[in-house]
Amino acid sequence: MIIQDIRNIAIIAHVDHGKTTLVDGMLKQSGIFRANQIVQERVMDSNDLEKERGITILAKNTSVRYQGYKINIVDTPGHSDFGGEVERVLKMVDGVLLLVDASEGPLPQTRFVLRKALELNLVPVVVVNKIDRPDARISEVVDEIYELFFELGANDEQLEFPVVYAVARDGMATMDPDEPGTDLKPLFETIVNHFPAPQGDPEAPLQLLVNNTEYDTYVGRIAIGRISQGTIAAGQTVTVIDHDGNTRNFRTGRVYVYEGLERVEVPKATCGEIVVVSGLEDIKIGETIADKDNPVAIPPIKVDEPTLEMTFMVNDSPFAGQEGEHITSRKLKARLYKEMEKNVSLRVQDTESPDVWKVAGRGELHLSILIETMRREGFELQVSKPEVIYKRGENGELLEPMEMLLVDIPEDKMGPVMEMLGNRKGEMINMGPNGPGQLRLEFKVPARGLIGFRSQLLSETRGLAIMNHTYHGYEPFKGEIRRRYQGVLIAFETGDATFYGLNAAQDRGTLFVVPGTKVYEGMVVGEHVREQDIEVNICKKKQLTNHRSSTAEATVKLEEARIMSLEEALEYLSDDELLEITPKSLRIRKKFLEKNERARAKKAAQQA
């Protein structure tokens, strides 16, 4: 059977191409909001971190009504580190709206998300967004999109995609870029007419794949997914089938469907609908909710494996427990395993130590968002520097993950940028102009070569570069890459940093702390101008005497300290360092705080 009045679609695109803004326009024009209602921009980005950073991190569901049709929409992240979110939700939909910027064209993440959609045989519709940009190159971008479809092996039906031209910010769409539209009606019409209606038998045994889980303070854990066949009702006894084929029975609580931004309770829902079900304790993503008399599992969700891992551990610094609420290994372990339940591309593994865990994810941003979320929840922890996950090939050779990197830079910065990427074992694939005075370079780079690259690139190009990258696959190990060429300044003793002590130390390098900062022995307080690490006494106070100094009237000025963000601090870490994270502070420290211990560890490493 075909359920004619429903369309299930996902909006996919590269980061910053306008997905969430387009959803805003669709919600407003479908009459979800009152005429006098104040609506914030990017209303789907409800998470605090999403609002602060202006990016989508979690895939979210909503729905709009158009001329008797219900359109269920999934807004997805555009950043490659959150690709697991995209892979997870694509099984809920029958088609995808592929958004492409009219100036930038298809970028690395566009290729990634489109490949996943085509593999699942989803129907595509292309939306060329931001056609009002002064540097828009509409016809060239459409040609690039067709080339991308051919490269990814799209079939004949998928190549027959319609193209809608839009300015999502203004809520405008048109089928002809030379004739500007006034609203999103052309887009709604294309969605209704081109995307297939969901199919399924409402009388068949129930099958529902859980694509997402959330926790509600009133009804507990809830499962979100699409009904493949059958019907689900409140109070119905169902069988849950886990990843290993084991079954357990539950009675469903409440059943909800999406209407706009709200969840509306319904007595029952039938196949083709995206539903929210409560009452299923410990339900996990990828499990199947099935009929109790005839339980049949749906193949579980498969996502690409993580490529980067870090060591998370209990905070054991001298300042441990002073700023956070949750500091014990029990709470830290419970929080990490809880995150793994809903973050499908995250892996957590115990180690020989009860206070240490290996956490693997898709990239630096993926892991740093987890860390930032935990510190806002009151956790204190320490992490090691990010390391890529190696594999062994069939012949026993060492393989490492590679990334496809696209950088847009000013022409005069080509030499320094190519030298930087050459040092990081980058291999140039393509180079071409990208507007007046701009170049676009395409590289294949080891994933470990991109750790710390963004801050170096922005520094070298004075903030004028734009970089995008996505996972490419595993290739033979490319050789050693040197990440840091400078040593660090290490605090000599525990105390408060003084103006006098910092002034004496600033000739040795760049400082990371300001006067009054509490420091401890072994804490990294700056970057040395040379390759060696040295100890500095920044807690030293000026000896006061009754003799007047000839230079007493001279004005002493401290250079501005370099205060790092969480991502910058993670990129900066060396093998023998840890990052201490608390709700209030980020502190880089040596693994061994005492000078003698560091010397012994260095000697043992050289002998090994």
Residues making up the annotated binding site are 16-21, 129-132
User: Quick check: 471 and 304 in contact, CB under 8 A?
Assistant: yes
Question: What is the residue type of 602?
Answer: K
Helix (H) or strand (E) holding 537: none
Binding-site residue numbers for GTP are 16-21, 129-132
**C-alpha neighbours within 13 Å on the C-beta side of residue 409:** 22
6's tokens: 């429903």
Q: Residue 592: count other Cβ atoms within 10 Å of its Cβ.
A: 15
Helix (H) or strand (E) holding 123: strand 123-129
User: Quick check: 27 and 127 in contact, CB under 8 A?
Assistant: no
Pairing between β-strand 308-313 and β-strand 381-383 as defined by DSSP bridges: antiparallel
Q: In whole angstroms, what is the distance from residue 319 CA to residue 579 CA?
A: 13
Q: What are phi and psi of 78, to 5 degrees?
A: -110, -10
For 311-360, give the DSSP string: EEE---STTTTSS-SB-SHHHHHHHHHHHHHH-TT-EEEE-SSTTEEEEE
The 3-state DSSP class for residue 430 equals strand
For 206-263, give the DSSP string: PEEEEEEEEEETTTEEEEEEEEEESEEETT-EEEEE-TTS-EEEEE---EEEEEBTEE
Closest C-alpha among 500, 497, 496 to residue 556: 500
Q: In whole angstroms, what is the distance from residue 587 CA to residue 564 CA?
A: 10
Q: In whole angstroms, what is the distance from residue 372 CA to residue 369 CA?
A: 5
